[in-house]
Amino acid sequence: MTTAAAAPSTGAMPSPLHRSQGIALRRSLVLMGMTVVVPGSAQLAVGKKRLGRIGVRTWMTLLALLIVLGVLLLTPVRAAMIGLYANPLTLTVLQWAVPVLALGWILLLADSWWLANPRHLSMRGKWLSGLLAVVLAVTSGTVAWGASTAFATQAKLFGNIFEGGGTTQVQNGRINVLLLGGDAGADRTGMRPDSMTVASIDADTGKTVLFSLPRNMQHAPFPADSPLHAKYPNGYYCSVKNLSEACMLNGVYTLAVQNKKLFPGVKYPGVEATKGVIEETLGLKINYWAMIDLKGFQQLINAVGGIRLDIGKRVPIGSLHGPKGVYDWIEPGKNVKLDGFHALWFARSREYSTDYERMIRQKCVMNAMLKQLNPTTVLTKFQDIASAGEQIVATNVPTSELGTLLDLAAKGKSQPMGSVSFTPPLIVPMDPDFAKIRRVVADKIAASEATATPSASASASATTAPSGNPTSSSTAKATTKPKSTSKTQTDNLDSVCKVSG
């Protein structure tokens, strides 16, 4: 009889203690779940009104701010909002606000676990609820730390690079940006721009025309207000036997640095002088400039996962005058992926080609960066991109204008990019026709503005007359005739390279 009475009954009700422990576990899980969804709601539910109101109101305020910001990003003030976000002060505030808010959330979570009275839990319940609370707290802390670090990186990046000083006023409906590829090799004195390209961007559509100037151009004119105009009233020219010592366009930078006393209060006299000469040459007012060195360029390409190009010609890696000579090749092909190292050599290689072909390759790389960079890449590889961005020597783009430029870049991605290289036979670098250069610039911009936004199937094309006479080309089917019928020289990009896809 004793044995039968002691046998467990499968239909017996759980003991009061077991039921109490189950209720306590469910209560613990529910309270923590409420904290995850709406911080402070658990405290309100159990009567801790003051703490609960603080948590809920803070959460609702943050949620409302996010909704308002999301709506504003869909309105015409989007560019201003991006500029406000990019301000180092805003990012510094966010850097410290995120961990403080995360700490408050963790404390509310711990309080929610304690409000369930863990002393009433079974050993299994204590382990389950406690482990869940720790996992949630660690996850929150990790995410907050990552976000805070990202904000700190952005604040440093924007604060160090985007110092401002450019001209925000639109120039005849366009924003003109001077892009300088800096070469500060060990065998050179200081920085020297190796490539000089102006991106002229339609301020409404984002449609862009690239104008490239050869580094060996002579007689570059200094504007009348330049401190160097008096020294070179007829342009930058030196009568020397060795062409490598001639006064060429890319030497203006070094000239200004050597005469920096002529530029009092100017932080970057080399860039300032180069900008003035290029403005005078092209007949365009430069809004902003940016200069990047070779190391930064290579890191940037790697940071975005490389670029893809259709390559029409073999490009050598190495130098005939270097210790290793030409030791490898970038082979032609369709949809060739280039990492930072190979993209750098593709853009910079000089052997078995001309400076003018190299200018085309450089513009192919820039075009690929514009077309293939996407928001997902920026978000997932931000730290690497930011690190590469630190290698940019300088830019006078203010953070307040970043949103505007990003909007224009997004618009420009869907449209073909016009391109003109001022190379033979269009001009003779040793004795360029500057009136012709300015006329070509005006005509190319007029033709670009006259073309409608292309369809998805439209493709860019360009040709160069073999006879040496300039010929016109169109990068998209126009719905109206160009404003000017003057013919212009454009790059034969497809024979050398073009952007994949």
Q: What is the pLDDT of residue 290?
A: 86
Q: What is the pLDDT of residue 391?
A: 61
Number of other CB atoms surrounding residue 466 within 10 Å: 9
| Both structure tokens of 31 | 């309270």
**What is the 3-class SS of 330-350, one letter each residue?**
ECCEEEEEECHHHHHHHHHCC
Q: What is the pLDDT of residue 161?
A: 80
| Both structure tokens of 18 | 């077991």
Q: What is the mean pLDDT of the chain?
A: 80
Which value, in Å, is the radius of gyration of the alpha carbons in the chain?
31
* Span 115-126, pLDDT tens digits: 887 777 788 888
CB 194 within 8 A of CB 247: no
**379 confidence band (pLDDT: 50, 70, 90):** low
Q: What are phi and psi of 465, to 5 degrees?
A: -70, 125
In sequence order, the 6+-apart residues with CB closer than 8 A to the CB of 334 are 310, 500
Chain Cα centroid distance, residue 33: 39
Q: What is the pLDDT of residue 192?
A: 67
For residues 423 and 429, what is the distance between their CA atoms, to the nearest angstrom? 7
Q: What is the pLDDT of residue 242?
A: 64
* Span 1-44, pLDDT tens digits: 444 444 454 555 666 666 767 777 888 888 899 999 999 999 99
Q: Is the dihedral of CA 468, 470, 475, 479 positive or negative?
A: negative
In the chain, % of residues over pLDDT 90: 38
pLDDT over 80 at 426, yes or no: yes
> Residue 264, CB half-sphere, CA atoms under 13 Å: how many?
0
Q: What is the pLDDT of residue 378?
A: 63
Look up residue 87 and give its DSSP letter: S
pLDDT over 60 at 487, yes or no: no
Q: What is the pLDDT of residue 382?
A: 62
Q: Which residue's structure tokens are 């007949």? A: 283
Closest CA to 227 of 275, 193, 259: 259
**328 confidence band (pLDDT: 50, 70, 90):** very high
pLDDT over 50 at 490, yes or no: no
| Strand locations in 255-363 (E) | 288-293, 307-311, 315-318, 326-330, 333-338
Look up residue 169 and give its DSSP letter: S
| Both structure tokens of 317 | 């890696």
Angle, helix 382-389 to helix 294-303, in steps of 10 degrees? 170
**330 confidence band (pLDDT: 50, 70, 90):** very high
Q: Which residue's structure tokens are 């046998």? A: 7
Can you state the percent helix, strand and coil of the chain, rounding each to 5? 50, 15, 35
Look up residue 421 and give its DSSP letter: E
CB 102 within 8 A of CB 140: yes
pTM given for the model: 0.70
| Both structure tokens of 90 | 């805003």
**153 confidence band (pLDDT: 50, 70, 90):** confident
pLDDT average, residue stretch 124-152? 90
pLDDT average, residue stretch 80-102? 92
Angle at 208 between CA 297 and CA 85, to 5 degrees: 65
DSSP assignments along 27-38, one per residue: HHHHHHHHHHHS
In the beta sheet, which residues pair with residue 199? 177, 210
Q: 459 exposed, middle or buried (CB, 10 Å; 0-12, 13-18, 19+)?
A: exposed
Q: What is the pLDDT of residue 467?
A: 33
Q: What is the pLDDT of residue 339?
A: 93
Please give the domain boundaries of the chain with CATH numbers for all domains: 17-161 (no CATH), 174-499 (3.40.630.190)
For residues 204 and 407, what is the distance between their CA atoms, to the nearest angstrom? 10
Look up residue 491 and give its DSSP letter: -
* Span 244-264, pLDDT tens digits: 557 889 889 989 999 999 999
Residue scoring higher pLDDT (16 or 216): 216
